[in-house]
């Protein structure tokens, strides 16, 4: 496998062969998991990454796919000498996690799929990808951010303070690299389809959706729950960005779930790494948990 070394943040209590890996969604970076990471790090060596095409991971320019991003994760695991992981993916990150679990089940102990899907067909996202093929100035970028917020977060109304913070941060990231990376991430997302094989997953799986997310994601959570026999489903309050809106509830949910299947190792560690970056030092079904927005 060739490609970039993913920028990543490691925190937690383990240096052994097991870890938790947190995968962000479309146009998000490792910071979307920051508050959840702080909970998991009490028991786990926890790694939050920037997928190829956004954040601080270099984009190599070639066509992008969910498979390529999953292989990036495998390469990072090898670099960190991690043999098996508990893995959580949010939205597009959940597609990456599904691909990993299906194609490399020997590397995955348990799986958490948060606000994600088996396949997404979106005329709006395809139109945004086409628009991003042209040069993008600050005004264009701000308009694209409004379209994305409307598509995923119902115009931000579902997210309140979290939605406003996410939209503000994204609107400030305009540059040619991010525009190109976003386009390729959208194209990769739209080409993903696990419907023919996701039912063959047999590893323990937690499926998380949100009560105020767009109906599409609740329908996909239901379909994933039916397809994956070794799964349980939990519905949280709030909208699509559960990693931010419901960080405390989601963090403890993952801590409990992964604790059933992994083997924490308790040697403290906290580093950043990646290509070109110096290293520095049981849950009830459909449980509702109160809203608590994480700082970004």
Q: Is 97 helix (H, G, I), strand (E, B) or coil?
A: helix
| Cα→Cα distances 58→98, 198, 212, Å | 23, 30, 34
DSSP classification of residue 274:
B
**Tell me, what DSSP letter sits at residue 163?**
H
146 inside domain: no
Instruction: Quote the pLDDT of residue 148.
Output: 78
pLDDT of residue 173: 56
Helix (H) or strand (E) segment spanning residue 128: helix 123-131
Residue 140 within a domain: no
b (16+ CB within 10 A) / e for 224-261:
bbebbeebbbbbbbbbbbbbbbbbbbbbebbbebbbee
pLDDT at position 125 is 85
Q: Which pLDDT score, from 0 to 100, does residue 144 have?
A: 83
**In terms of residue numbers, what domain contains 101?**
8-118+193-273
The whole-angstrom separation of Cα 206 and Cα 259 is: 12
The pLDDT assigned to 152 comes to: 64
Residue 263 has a pLDDT of 60
**Residue 182 within any structural domain of the chain:** no
pLDDT tens for the 296 residues of the chain, in order: 566 778 899 998 766 667 999 999 998 889 999 999 999 999 999 999 999 877 778 766 667 899 999 999 999 999 999 999 999 999 999 999 999 999 999 999 999 999 999 999 888 888 888 888 888 777 787 788 777 777 666 544 444 555 556 556 555 555 555 777 888 899 999 999 999 999 999 999 999 999 999 899 999 999 999 999 999 999 999 889 899 989 999 999 999 999 988 665 444 444 445 543 323 223 333 333 333 334 33
Q: Is residue 208 part of a domain?
A: yes
Whether residue 213 is contained in a domain is answered as: yes
Is 268 a member of any domain?
A: yes
Look at residue 295 in the predicted model and tell me its pLDDT: 38
Residue 199 lies in a domain: yes
Q: What DSSP line would sit under 199-223, residue for residue?
A: GG--S-EEEEEETTS-HHHHHHHHH
Task: Provide the Cα torsion 92, 114, 153, 142; round to 10°.
Answer: -40
172's tokens = 């400030």
Residue 181 inside a domain? The answer is: no
**Around Cβ 97, how many Cβ atoms within 10 Å?**
28
Count of domains forming the chain? 1
CA angle 189, 45, 271 (to 5 degrees): 85
Rounded CA separation 1/3 (Å): 7
CATH number, domain with residue 34: 3.40.50.1820
Chain centroid, CA 276 distance in Å: 22
């Amino acid at each position: 496998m060739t490609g970039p070394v993913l920028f990543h943040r490691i925190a937690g209590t383990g240096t052994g062969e097991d870890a938790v890996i947190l995968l962000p969604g479309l146009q998000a970076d490792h910071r979307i998991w920051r508050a959840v990471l702080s909970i998991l790090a009490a028991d786990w060596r926890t790694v939050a990454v920037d997928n190829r095409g956004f954040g601080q991971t270099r984009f190599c320019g070639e066509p992008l796919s969910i498979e390529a991003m999953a292989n990036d994760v495998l390469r990072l695991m090898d670099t960190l000498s991690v043999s098996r992981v508990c893995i959580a993916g949010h939205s597009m990150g959940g597609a990456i996690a599904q691909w990993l679990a299906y194609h490399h089940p020997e590397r995955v102990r348990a799986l958490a799929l948060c606000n994600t899907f088996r396949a997404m067909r979106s005329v709006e996202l395809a139109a945004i990808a086409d628009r991003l093929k042209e040069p993008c100035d600050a005004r264009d970028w701000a308009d694209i951010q409004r379209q994305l917020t409307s598509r995923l977060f119902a115009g931000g109304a579902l997210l309140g303070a979290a939605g406003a913070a996410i939209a503000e941060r994204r609107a400030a990231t305009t540059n040619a690299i991010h525009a190109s990376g976003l386009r390729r991430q959208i194209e990769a997302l739209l080409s993903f389809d696990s419907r023919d094989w996701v039912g063959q997953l047999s590893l323990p799986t937690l499926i998380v959706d949100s009560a105020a997310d767009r109906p599409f994601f609740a329908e996909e959570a239901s379909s994933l729950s039916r397809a994956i026999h070794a799964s349980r489903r939990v519905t949280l309050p709030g909208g699509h960005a559960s990693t931010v809106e419901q960080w405390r509830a989601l963090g403890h949910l993952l801590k409990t779930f992964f604790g059933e299947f992994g083997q924490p190792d308790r040697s403290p560690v906290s580093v950043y790494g990646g290509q070109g970056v110096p290293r520095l030092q049981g849950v009830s079904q459909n449980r509702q948990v109160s809203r608590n927005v994480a700082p970004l």
